[in-house]
């Protein structure tokens, strides 16, 4: 969490999020937008002032604190490939590893330090901001005041700065933004949302505040609800969807896997490359094509049993057993089984690349193989 509100292990992961840091302080800051027309003025900001749109040709992409998380580092790599190494700034409150530090610009940023965030935007002429800073649900439930500060007060700081300086702002949401009263199969973009965690509540708040700032102040706010994200680079941390990562590690190491969810527990999932691609695509989409500010995105939906069957094509002797964790099972039972992402596919052409077979093939190719791995038929 923020430097002055320490109190949680930043390496801990929430149930249901396979590759995001528990106390993410990630930001990405970017810069290259078309030159604004002379005399083209922005809309009123929360302070009542009017700001001229940026006139530079360079797009400054910024990541809010939390950039050292799995998604932050991956997104920075994708953005730098698209816009140039020096046009994307990664930030966090933690010291970066050498490979991250030398891969492009990195700065310290604390989501609760409004003055510091504003200075970064002004000094670097930021035009796009990706706001990943959040305490995820497991840590949030253990420290609600800290989660409220980071997830809600931090969001308010970002919204005000983005509105004042005419930034294009991306804030991710999650399957955790839904609750037991939401329709689950499928879950549409617009429906009842009554989550049972401070993390989920703060994400619903972010969706609504972003939409409000769009209609009230003209803020270019864009949001995607991520399903469970699977990555070969992430280490499972005991989250609700982490079984879909752990099964590969255990299949390779021991040929045995004990699953903490029922075999028929269906959840929406996505490979990290699709997640990052969708994030860039929705940010690049022409504003006039967007009919809403928050979109579901989906790639696949599977159960532990279905995943095991696919893994057994590579490790035929895999032994799958089930020891249900009632806490994580209850969380999974309150989440969507399938995301309806038809609006994203219609409005800005979203199309995923990885289905379950491609996901399994890719995971094994990244994690390596040993004598137990059989060649897939």
Contact yes or no for 137/195 (Cβ under 8 A): no
Helix, strand, coil percent content, the chain, rounded in steps of 5? 40, 20, 45
Q: Does the N-terminal peptide bond of residue 186 adopt cis geometry, omega within 30 degrees of 0?
A: yes
Nearest to 173 by CA among 315, 91, 68, 279: 279
Gap between the Cα atoms of 360 and 12, Å rounded: 25
Catalytic residue among 199, 217, 260, 314: 199
Give every CB contact of residue 371 below 8 A, 6+ residues apart in sequence. none
* DSSP per residue, 5-41: S--S-TT---TT-SSS-TEE--EEEEE--PPPPTT-E
Gap between the Cα atoms of 24 and 245, Å rounded: 20
Q: What is the distance, to the nearest Å, from the Cα of residue 314 to the centroid of all Cα atoms in its chain?
A: 29
Phi and psi at residue 8, in whole multiples of 5°? -135, 155
Contact yes or no for 135/26 (Cβ under 8 A): no
* DSSP per residue, 128-172: EEEE--EE-HHHHHH-HHHHHIIIIIHHHHHHHHHHHTT-EEE--
Q: Which two tokens stand for residue 66?
A: 């939390």
- Angle between helix 154-164 and 198-217 (nearest 10): 20
> What HEC string does 206-248 produce?
HHHHHHHHHHHHCCEEEEEEECEEECCCCCCCCCCCCHHHHHH
Gap between the Cα atoms of 65 and 151, Å rounded: 12
Give every CB contact of residue 375 below 8 A, 6+ residues apart in sequence. none
Active site residue 199: yes
Nearest to 156 by CA among 133, 138, 139, 179: 133
Would you please indicate which residues are annotated as catalytic (active-site) residues? Answer: 199
């Amino acid at each position: 969490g923020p430097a002055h509100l320490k109190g949680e292990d930043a390496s801990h992961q929430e149930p249901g999020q396979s590759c995001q840091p528990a106390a993410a302080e990630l930001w990405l800051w970017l810069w290259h937008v078309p030159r604004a027309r002379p005399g083209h003025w922005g809309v009123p900001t929360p302070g009542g002032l009017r700001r001229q749109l940026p006139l530079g040709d360079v797009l400054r992409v910024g990541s809010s604190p939390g950039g050292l998380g799995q998604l932050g580092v991956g997104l920075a790599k994708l953005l730098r490939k698209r816009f140039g190494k020096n046009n994307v700034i990664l930030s966090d409150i933690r010291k970066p590893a050498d490979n991250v530090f030398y891969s492009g610009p990195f700065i310290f940023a604390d989501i609760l330090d409004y003055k510091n965030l504003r200075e970064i935007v002004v000094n670097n002429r930021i035009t796009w901001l990706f706001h990943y800073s959040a305490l995820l649900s497991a840590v949030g439930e253990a420290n609600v005041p800290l989660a409220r500060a980071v997830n809600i007060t931090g969001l308010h700081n970002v919204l005000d700065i983005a509105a004042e300086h005419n930034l294009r702002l991306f804030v991710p949401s999650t399957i955790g933004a839904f609750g037991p009263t939401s329709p689950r199969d499928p879950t549409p973009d617009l429906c009842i949302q009554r989550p049972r965690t401070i993390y989920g509540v703060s994400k619903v708040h972010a969706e609504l505040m972003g939409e409000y700032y769009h209609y009230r102040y003209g803020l270019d706010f864009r949001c995607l609800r991520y399903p469970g994200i699977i990555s070969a680079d992430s280490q499972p941390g005991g989250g609700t969807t982490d079984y879909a990562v752990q099964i590969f590690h255990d299949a390779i190491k021991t040929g045995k896997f004990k699953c903490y969810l029922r075999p028929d527990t269906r959840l929406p999932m996505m490979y990290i490359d699709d997640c990052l691609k969708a994030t860039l695509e929705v940010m690049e989409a022409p504003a006039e094509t967007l009919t809403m500010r928050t979109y579901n995105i989906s790639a696949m939906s599977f159960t532990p049993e279905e995943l095991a069957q696919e893994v057994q094509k590579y490790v035929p002797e895999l032994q799958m057993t089930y020891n249900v964790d009632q806490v994580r099972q209850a969380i999974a039972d309150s989440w969507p089984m399938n995301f309806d992402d038809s609006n994203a596919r219609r409005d800005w052409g979203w199309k995923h690349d990885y289905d379950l077979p491609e996901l399994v093939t890719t995971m094994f190719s990244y994690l390596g193989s040993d004598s137990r791995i059989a060649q897939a038929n």
